[in-house]
Structure 1
Amino acid sequence: MDRTMSHQYRTIDVPVEGGALRAGVWNPTDAATGAPTVLLVHGVTASHLAWPFVVDRLPGVRVIAPDLRGRGRSNGVEGSAGMAAHASDLAALLGALGIEQTVVVGHSMGGFVSVVFAHLHPERVSRLLLVDGGLPLDVPAGLSTDELVAGILGPTAARLSMRFADAGAYLDFWRQHPAFTGAWTPELERYLAYDLVDDGAGAFRPATSYATTADDTLDMNTGSALPAALAGLQHPTRLITVPRGLQNEPPGLYAPEHLDRLLAQYPGVDHERIDGFNHYTIVMSPAGADVVSAAVREELSAVPTR
């Protein structure tokens, strides 16, 4: 168990269909029994270690964050992915920890997972906070799976097929990434190094497989789970978007015109656009985590006392 200024951190493995789901648990060091809990759900090729910046800004709050199936140390979970499968895994995780209901925060694909989780397991969710994800992306119809993945993720998807000699080579690769110019930190290095697994041939590869990424990308853009969940949205839902995307490029995942259409279609979603960040740094930088953690605290304060 590791200790930070505000939390004690440990990992757990929870049985799910097809294997064991790894999750990080951060228990507050200065809170009495009954501390509020928040569930944090990462993006399409990330892991639970995307969240430490946010966790450090939530003293007194218990934080749970999984490696979604097919990612991190959950990359050995067998079977298909997709939003419904991830939702079932989240329910199993909360059940194993004895958590009846919680605020759920989803970043990127984690936002889509969170919306579907709230739909399939409504009793488990009090409120939703979506960070640059969760509402449909503006993608053309009729694309093949590979075209869809390339169009949305670009070099992020290409990286999954690359091999690296060691963690140092992987970090050198990421240092050139435009999203992290001026935002390189030890926490980011730890997150990136955790992503590597042995490829069995003397090199290392990202833990997330291309096949898993393709399955999830296809499901969240063309599957039935997300439209059904959004049509039945019943939980208070807040969406934060940023003006730059995965390569630090404007206009980001949600161009203003597309976002306006979505907000008109889903008037129950409370939206705010935060300038100065890209898709990564809104979560994985000190300033971005300030924004997200403040929003988490506001959502926790809005949960009725049970």
Structure 2
Amino acid sequence: MDRTVSHDYREIDVPVDGGSLHVGVWDAPHAGADTPTVLLVHGVTASHLAWPFVVERLPGVRVVAPDLRGRGRSNGIEGAAGMAAHAGDLAAVLDALGIEHTLVVGHSMGAFVSVVFAHLHPERVARLVLVDGGLPLDVPAGLSTDELVAGILGPTAARLSMRFASPAEYLDFWRAHPAFAGAWTPELERYLAYDLVPDGDGAFRPATSYATTADDTVDMNTGTALPDALAGLRHPTRLLTVPRGLQDEPPGLYAPEHLERLLGEYPGVRHERIDGFNHYTIVMSPAGADVVSAVVRQELAAT
């Protein structure tokens, strides 16, 4: 469990097609009818515990963040994933909590899910904040599933097939990760430990399966849900990108030339390049969360 100074944290399970979606809820103390709400949607192999840095910088705001199907404690849901399935799950979460519409913030794959959610359930979304994701990636056509996953996620995908003798061994694996050099925190340790589940043979594995990751990666890059959603984009949308990627490598997920083409194609998207961060630390570090939470507060004020 995680509890921030500014919020009361609880966990709920929401029935969805194929099983139960696990959701973290950070309630603002003394909340009333006018308390704003933000729905946070994590990345492709992450969980709701990617968000505590951002949450603690949003006092007075109710924050809702699910483990997407196939991830975290939602990894037992049966049936296919994909952007539309995730969008349906988000609608079920809002229904369960009695939330009519809300600001939606998505990171990485969560940004793609958020765009599709806004398209399929437009009345539920007030505004969108996309953090290093949500617009098409620059990937060659004709790649096989494995080639596509490896090309986008690299070692992140390979990790899903690894086994670890203990949580401590898993943490040691991540300590050597270039994205978190100088950015290791207790919150990050809790997030990583939460990711582990028993493999049935006395060891541990990441909660997200490779098959689920592959299905989602193919859908968000070659399926019709995302282009259809972007073609019909009507919600105020703000995109934050960073100059370094999943391995802390330049130019990140969106090379400048590719991003310039995208912004020309989708002129309604307001873009900001945030220097000094990689794909992970823009959300999972104190300094990155300072930036993201400030944008969230601005978008809440505009709602």
Is TM-score (shorter-chain normalized) higher than 0.5? yes
Deviation track 1:171-225 (CA, whole Å, cap 9, x = no partner) reads 0000000000000000000000000000001100000000000000000000000
Distance 1:83 1:11 in 2: 23
> Residue in 2 aligned with 1:35?
35
Name the CA distance, whole Å, in 2 between partners of 1:224 and 1:51.
29
SS at 2:23 equivalent? strand
For residues 178 and 2 of structure 1, what CA distance do their matches in structure 2 show?
25
Taking the aligned partners of 1:258 and 1:92, their CA distance within structure 2 comes to: 35
Long gaps (5+) in structure 1: none
1:220 aligns with 2:220: yes
CA contact (8 A) 1:2 1:8 kept: no
| C-alpha displacement of 1:4 | 2.8
Letter in 2 for 1:266: Y
Give 1:142's aligned residue. 142
Secondary structure of the residue aligned to 2:123 is: helix
Pairwise CA distance, 1:30: 4.9
- Matched with 2:292 is 292
Q: Kindly provide the amino acid, as one letter, of the partner of residue 108 in structure 1.
A: S
Paired letter, 2:256? P
Residue of structure 2 equivalent to 1:99: 99
Which residue of structure 2 lines up, in the alignment, with residue 248 of structure 1? 248
User: Does the CA-based 8 Å contact 1:116-1:226 persist in structure 2?
Assistant: yes
Q: Equivalent residues in 2 for 1:39-58 (5 A)?
A: 39-58=39-58
Which secondary structure state, in structure 2, belongs to the residue aligned with residue 113 of structure 1?
helix
Determine if the alignment matches structure 1 residue 18 to structure 2 residue 18.
Answer: yes
Any residues of structure 2 matched to 1:1-306 within 5 Å, and which? 3-303=3-303
Looking at structure 2, the residues matched to 73 and 35 of structure 1 have their Cα atoms a distance apart, in angstroms, of: 28
Question: In the TM superposition, what is the alpha-carbon distance from 1:29 to its structure 2 partner?
Answer: 1.9
Answer yes or no: is the 8 Å Cα contact 1:47–1:71 preserved in 2: yes
- Partners of 2:4 and 2:55 within 8 A in 1: no
User: For the residues of structure 2 that align with 1:27 and 1:197, how far apart are their CA atoms?
Assistant: 27
1:39–1:103 Cα contact (<8 Å) kept: yes
Letter in 1 for 2:221: N
Equivalent residue of 2:292, what SS? helix
Report the Cα distance in structure 2 between the residues aligned to 1:34 and 1:294, rounded to whole angstroms: 20
- Structure 2 stretches of 5 or more lacking a match? none
Question: Aligned-pair distance for 1:33?
Answer: 3.9
Give per-residue Cα distances to partners, 1:16-41, cap 9 Å, x unaligned. Answer: 00000000000012544431000000
Contact 2:39-2:65 within 8 A present in 1 as well: yes
- Distance in 2 between residues matched to 1:97 and 1:30, nearest whole Å: 17
SS in 2 for 1:161: coil
Q: 1:24 aligns to what SS in structure 2?
A: strand
Answer yes or no: is the 8 Å Cα contact 1:119–1:232 preserved in 2: yes
How far apart in 2 are the matches of 1:239 and 1:16?
A: 29
- Code of the residue aligned with 1:92 in structure 2: it is A
How many percent of aligned residue pairs carry the same amino acid? 84
What letter matches 1:222 in structure 2? T
Q: TM-score, normalised by structure 1?
A: 0.98
Matched residue of 1:39: which SS? strand
Letter in 2 for 1:178: P
Tell me the number of residue pairs that the alignment of Structure 1 and Structure 2 aligns: 303
Q: Secondary structure at the match of 1:4?
A: coil
Whether the 8 Å CA contact 1:6–1:30 is kept in 2: the answer is: no
Once superposed, what is the RMSD of the aligned Cα atoms? 0.9
Q: Deviations over 1:46-66 (max 9, x none)?
A: 000000000000000000000
Letter in 2 for 1:238: R
1:84–1:117 contact (8 Å) kept in structure 2: yes
SS at match of 2:60: coil
Q: Secondary structure at the match of 2:21?
A: strand
In the TM superposition, structure 1's runs of 4+ consecutive aligned residues that sit over 4 Å from their partners are none
Measured after TM superposition, the shift of residue 5 of structure 1 is 1.5
SS at 1:130 equivalent: strand
In the alignment, residue 136 of structure 2 is paired with which amino acid?
A: P
Q: Structure 2: how far apart are the matches of 1:293 and 1:15?
A: 29
- Partner amino acid, structure 2, of 1:55: V
